[in-house]
Amino acid sequence: MDIKTLTFIVVGLTFALYIGIAIWARAGSTNDFYVAGGGVPPVANGMATAADWMSAASFISMAGLISILGYDGSVYLMGWTGGYVLLALCLAPYLRKFGKFTVPDFIGDRYYSQTARTVAVICAILVSFTYIAGQMRGVGVVFSRFLEVDIATGVLIGMALVYFYTLLGGMKGITYTQVAQYCVLAFAYTVPAVFITMQMTGHILPQTGFGATLADGSGQYLLDRLDGLSTELGFAAYTEGTKSRLDVFAITMALMVGTAGLPHVIIRFFTVPKVSDARRSGGWALVFIAVVYTTAPAIASITKVNILNTLNGPEQQGVLYEEAPSWVTNWEQTGLIRWDDHNEDGRMFFSNDERNEMHVDADIIVLASPEIANLPNWVVALVAAGGVAAALSTSAGLLLVISSSVSHDLLKRTLMPDISDRQELLYARIAAGVAVLIGAYFGINPPGFVAQVVAFAFGLAAASFFPAIILGIFHKRMNSTGAIAGMVVGIVFTLSYIIYFRFINPAADNAENWWFGISPEGIGTVGMLLNFIVAITVLKFTKDAPNEIQELVESIRYPKGSGAATSH
Amino acid sequence: MAFESEDHAKAYWKENLSLMIKLLIVWFTVSFGFGIILVDLLNQITFFGFKLGFWFAQQGAIYTFIVLIFIYIHQMNKLDKKYKVDEE
């Protein structure tokens, strides 16, 4: 069977599974829609968190970016896993004890202020929009390749699917479908990785395989070969990278802290029955995430060698276009791979200097990796299904945050307190619809690769929520004025920096013009520091939080007496 | 007040913070320390075919993170029991 038919069958089957589960677990009440009635066991919750977490950015884009960035790509690996340590140690148990539905609820109640709540809602919406824009691009890449359409059509098809899918169930439906989605995406990610590792080095485990010697009899280590090839072709040595250490530090920090401040991840920890379960959920989530994250760098390096060998030939002299492997011609239809024969010799050549004739979009590398390695068609179809699962699960979680922020936090709690549950649900659905449309626009006109756009969302979360939540738990005198000032300064600073370099003056978007050489991806770290400094300084000049709030903070510091999450 | 006394509450929080800070020091060392700041130095050591600094950045840090969280879960459950603030 050809790839297209197989993809339809595999994606169709997995879809039937998710929708079946969503219908079976349909949300009955508003409580169910938001937090699944608080009755999800930690291992299942960990798996669902992992699926929620590992988006199109992790699945489709990350290994591709690492493949291009080499060592510099480690920012994504460490950044998107290390955040779970912060989450499990510093946030999850306390937020669970606090017992609220959403992050703005926590901020609003802890800082006894409607203004604080509204600022938090606006931050949550900004973060989630940025994030979902990246996801839509990811879904678009998958659909454009396997339906053989251009990328814009792919985005529109994906958008319709995501919206339809989110409407079917709220959190409860999503929790159990996400368990299924985790299984599909982890399987789809690791199976091809095992195959390509065996081909290349004879190892079964990708985690050890990419450090091993090549199976071609040369006895050379894979990473040494890759370093050598990269320098010959004008790329930086794979294991060294080119970013400044400070920038690597800043991006990693922004991603870690952002992870701990992301509203759609935090909401997960409200759905477990007990405080001890919230801690355990964080641990399990990281175990499941690590399965994919420790495999990714293996896919990245092995596929890089494969790409260089198939485009340039084993002698690195270029390969005749007529003899181009099928993955090149297949992906050319999407516009994500291009060949310009500058020297008119009819041969393709991929390098990072004047000899280069290829444009290879980083976002196709994972999806194309089984094709590049000549794996059977069913493996290619499986990877497509995994990509769809990853993008769907995260988009659904994000849409839920956007819709609950608008309908619950903004309308019900602030602007229109009299609306019924039914109306609230209706507004939630309208908000999700608007969100998906804006997401689609940025999916078609992306301001960067999927993983980079997503990194901006993390920077925004790092600069706004993380300090407010940490201070809310660990600094009991922190008052509303300080927290609000901190959040506003943090997010405005970070957003302006990103918008300036990405949209207003993209020509200046390079290390020479960046402040201290920190890229827009890493600027969230500076935003976070500003947030902390502003909040603590403002506190010095204003009154401490009232006594009853300080007592409330004391009471979230131990597990005993946690009830179910409530909305008021 | 769920604690037997004010002193218990203070002691519990102090032990909690000290555990958290110890684990966060390890968290910082394996990722920002070994994976970024000291990467060039560690890269001179080869570890199963990997340069050691590169290995920490792309593999080692992640394994350490998992261990840290499970140590935290285990120690906190013990601490909750010791001060009788665990959930039934």
User: For A35-83, how does the pLDDT look when each residue is reduced to its tens digit (9 = 90+)?
Assistant: 544 566 778 888 888 887 887 778 888 888 899 899 999 999 999 999 9
Q: Where are the domains of chain A?
A: 3-310+365-451
pTM above 0.90, yes or no: no
For residue A568, pLDDT beyond 50:
no
Exposure string over A320-337, b if 16+ CB within 10 A, otherwise e:
eeeebeebbebbeebebb
For residue A4, pLDDT beyond 70:
yes
Of the two residues A435 and A479, the one the predictor is more confident about is: A479
Burial environment of residue B63 by CB neighbours within 10 A (0 to 12, 13 to 18, 19 or more): middle
Q: Give residue A56's pLDDT.
A: 76
Q: Which of A309-323, A433-447, B25-39 has the highest mean pLDDT?
A: B25-39
> Do the bridges between strand A337-339 and strand A347-348 make them parallel or antiparallel, or are there none, so unpaired?
unpaired
Question: B residues 17-46 near A, CB within 8 Å?
Answer: 20, 23-24, 27, 31-32, 35-37, 39, 43
d(CA B53, CA B39): 4
Of the two residues B79 and B3, the one the predictor is more confident about is: B79
A290 contacts on B by Cβ (under 8 Å):
62-63, 65-66
Whether B62 sits inside 8 A of A78 (CB atoms) is yes
d(CA A242, CA A248): 10
Whether A85 sits inside 8 A of B73 (CB atoms) is no
DSSP A162-206: HHHHHHH--HHHHHHHHHHHHHHHHHHHHHHHHHHHHHHHS-S-H
A517 to each of A243, A510, A520, B35, B66, how far by Cα in Å?
9, 8, 10, 19, 32
Of the two residues A55 and B8, the one the predictor is more confident about is: B8
Mutate which of A74, A208, A213 to test chain B, going by most B C-beta atoms within 10 A? A74
Q: Which residue of A has its CA nearest to B6?
A: A554
d(CA A239, CA A72): 8
User: What's A415's DSSP letter?
Assistant: I
Of the two residues A46 and A466, the one the predictor is more confident about is: A466
Do A528 and A254 meet the contact criterion of CB atoms below 8 Å apart?
A: yes
Q: Which of A182-196, A200-214, A404-418, A478-492 has the highest mean pLDDT?
A: A478-492
Nearest to A421 by CA among A567, A305, A256: A567
Whether A89 sits inside 8 A of B24 (CB atoms) is yes
Nearest to A80 by CA among A546, A474, A394: A394
Of the two residues B1 and A243, the one the predictor is more confident about is: A243
Of the two residues A555 and A265, the one the predictor is more confident about is: A555
B87 contacts on A by Cβ (under 8 Å):
274-276, 559-562
Of the two residues A454 and A204, the one the predictor is more confident about is: A204
d(CA A220, CA A197): 15
Mutate which of B18, B21, B58, B66 to test chain A, going by most A C-beta atoms within 10 A? B58
Average of pLDDT values for A353-362? Answer: 85
Q: Which helix (H) or strand (E) holds A359?
A: strand A358-360
| CATH class as words, domain A3-310+365-451 | mainly alpha
Q: Give residue A171's pLDDT.
A: 46
Q: Where are the domains of chain B?
A: 6-82
Nearest to A233 by CA among A59, A357, A418, A80: A357
Q: Which helix (H) or strand (E) holds A445?
A: none
Average pLDDT, chain A: 84
Q: Give residue A79's pLDDT.
A: 93
pLDDT > 90 fraction of chain B, expressed in percent and rounded? 66
d(CA A289, CA A373): 25
Whether B63 has its CB under 8 Å from any CB of chain A: the answer is yes
Mutate which of B44, B62, B72 to test chain A, going by most A C-beta atoms within 10 A? B62
Write out pLDDT tens, residues A129-183. Answer: 888 877 788 888 888 877 778 888 888 888 888 787 777 655 445 677 778 888 8
d(CA A309, CA A449): 24
A458 to each of A181, A185, A250, how far by Cα in Å?
23, 22, 12
Judged by DSSP in three states, A242 sits in coil
Whether A245 sits inside 8 A of B57 (CB atoms) is no
d(CA A101, CA A105): 7
Q: Give residue A27's pLDDT.
A: 52
Whether B65 has its CB under 8 Å from any CB of chain A: the answer is yes
Average of pLDDT values for A417-431? Answer: 81
Exposure string over A386-417, b if 16+ CB within 10 A, otherwise e:
bbbbbbbbbbbbbbbbbbbbbbbbbbbbbeee
B58 contacts on A by Cβ (under 8 Å):
66, 71, 74, 77, 297
Of the two residues A201 and A443, the one the predictor is more confident about is: A201
Chain A and chain B share a number of CB contacts under 8 A equal to 135
A463 to each of A56, A133, A471, how far by Cα in Å?
23, 19, 13
d(CA B28, CA B24): 6
Task: For Cα atoms A437, A440, A441, give the angle at the middle one, nearest 5 degrees.
Answer: 90
For tokens 């920190």, the residue is A518
Residue B86: φ, ψ to 5°: -75, 165
Task: For Cα atoms A266, A426, A110, give the angle at the middle one, nearest 5 degrees.
Answer: 35
Say which range, A24-28, A212-216, A468-472, A499-503, has the weakest mean pLDDT. A24-28
Whether B66 sits inside 8 A of A283 (CB atoms) is yes
Distance from the Cα of B87 to chain A's closest Cα (Å) equals: 5
The sign of the CA dihedral A465, A559, A277, A289 is positive
Whether B2 sits inside 8 A of A561 (CB atoms) is yes
For residue B88, pLDDT beyond 90:
no
Whether A74 sits inside 8 A of B35 (CB atoms) is yes
A287 contacts on B by Cβ (under 8 Å):
66
Tabulate helix, strand, coil % of chain A (nearest 5).
Answer: 75, 0, 25
Mutate which of A43, A54, A71, A289 to test chain B, going by most B C-beta atoms within 10 A? A71
B13 contacts on A by Cβ (under 8 Å):
557
Q: Give residue A315's pLDDT.
A: 79
For tokens 């992306």, the residue is A446
Of the two residues A384 and A38, the one the predictor is more confident about is: A384
A567 confidence band (pLDDT: 50, 70, 90): very low
B25 contacts on A by Cβ (under 8 Å):
none
Q: Give residue A37's pLDDT.
A: 45
For residue A26, pLDDT beyond 70:
no
